[in-house]
Chains A and B, each alone.
Chain A
């Protein structure tokens, strides 16, 4: 059974710092992996999606990498800003884009 773990559960950093969020999964036979952002009281917004055949994806200050053999993905945030404060969720699909297993998230606080 696929399990997704995110460590740490919470992280507090000063503005401007580069940071890495970690996601690990137990079954390397994945279809794709998504990183989401969730603001308090809101829904999830997809940040980056990495397909099984890809190693990384980039969008602006965000870079996500995927290493299936080790069951790991990282989300790199460059030059963090207070507006980046949110919960970041990692989700893995083993079959199609309709069925994801989610980690419990990392709650990020960027201090001004």
Chain B
């Protein structure tokens, strides 16, 4: 498939390393955040979410950290695998009454075996 990440920031890691992908969100009133993974030729796939009343949430091999003071979100992937290679987007929801999501610029993660 064709890549969607031609002009995106790229993070290159070795298989087995831990990866950290960062995102600066735009609106201090946002109260819900999501990380998506987009593989080549596919739509974004939900990874993990976090609400503004939390600063950390863990999933399987992934952890999301939220720093509301500096409007910063990060996604940590433990023991990165070649199958994790994709473009990762953060998305913010302005507030619980708002139906639309605003997406960040995205980061391409390349995992070398």
Report if A and B associate in a common complex: no
Residues of chain A at the chain B interface (Cβ within 8 Å): none
